[in-house]
Amino acid sequence: MSDTRRLARAVNIADLRRLAHRRLPRVVFDYIDGGADGEVTLADSTRSWDQVLFRPRQAVRLGGVDTRTTVLGSDLEAPILLAPIGYTRLFHPDTEVGVARAARATGVGYVLTSFAGSRVEDVAAAAGPLWYQLYLAGGRAVVESTLARVWQSGCRVLAVTIDTNAPGMRERDVRNGSAALVGPGFLNKIPFLPQLLGHPRWLAGFLGDRPDVMLYPNIVVPGSGPARATDVRTMLADSVVDWSDLGWIRAAWPGAIVMKGVLSADDARRALDEGCAGVIVSNHGGRQLDTCLPTVRALPPIVRAVGHQMPVLVDGGIRRGADIAKALCMGAKAVLVGRAYAYAFAGAGQAGVARAVEILRTDLDRTLRLLGCPSVRELDGSYLEV
């Protein structure tokens, strides 16, 4: 069966994961699929959504259901934003521009990472609602220059990531030696040859795109040019965000700022006090600190603390439309999905992303009907067993 037929026949995100597994060399698949340390949080992130139970309202006649919402000025056909993911040019040659086109076609938002392999101007030209995820890579002067470009491109929401005080220990990547795949030189890639040659379509795309795969054109260091992928760990170590940075970031950014990586009510209240427009409850997809809270458990106290004053979004482990509905019942305004579209993008590029969103939107529509709820805006805690 061709990958096109597998894509068309995919009925859930697990099917898209299997498609990515077929298409990618192990070293690349494990980068998408893996988490930090023992991957306890990675597993908990999905399992914890399954443990939240619905209380549907039966014998309800619905003429239709409405999944539309608006978050910080972004009009969405469903309460979904595609989460920021680095190294996507390593997955498929359609690049972040393809992700943006798929998001626009399906009516959802896209959050572009600082570590994108495509220029923000090119992504914005293809996108619908586009947010930008900020790391302080390159230092203040570089960040301020980048923010001017991002604003000029049309982005109006900035997601400042605060959970990367140090790079997470992603053991699969270390065992696979994945840094050598994106680093310079040919000899250190010889150990990868058997798995690369076993995936000729991926290899052709990688080799054709290789000069740009290794560069981050939105982080331009004066005198050095675009940052290189091999510099990421050092850049992350040198770009830790603290609350004092919000002052100069606000001065450089005219739009809304949300803090991404919040797991405590105290940090959410601090973000509100510092003038942020929202928070994203996130444990970085289980890729940073292992054995920390799954986001489904972190979400309720944060909603209680600030949800009446700012939108709260959540990511981590969301694989089904039912998970989206549960998040909204618990007070989230929208969700971010990462692996759910990363698998699809790796397996089938832009078409795969569109299929992933279609699956999630169809799931959400069906879940609303089975709950007896006419709109995502009417979901609340009464639909859950607590």
Catalytic residues: 284
Q: What is the 3-state secondary structure (H, E, C) of the chain?
A: CCHHHHHHHCCCHHHHHHHHHHHCCHHHHHHHHCCCCCCHHHHHHHHHHHCCEECCCCCCCCCCCECCEEECCEEECCCEEECCCCCHHHHCCCHHHHHHHHHHHHCCEEEEECCCCCCHHHHHHHCCCEEEEECCCCCHHHHHHHHHHHHHHCCCEEEEECCCCCCCCCHHHHHHCHHHHHCCCCHHHHHHHHHHHCCHHHHHHHHHHHHHHCEEEEEEECCCEEEEHHHHHHHHHCCCCCCCHHHHHHHHCCCEEEEEEECCHHHHHHHHHCCCCEEEECCHHHCCCCCCCCHHHHHHHHHHHHCCCCCEEECCCCCCHHHHHHHHHCCCCEEEECHHHHHHHHHHHHHHHHHHHHHHHHHHHHHHHHHCCCEHHHCCHHHEEC
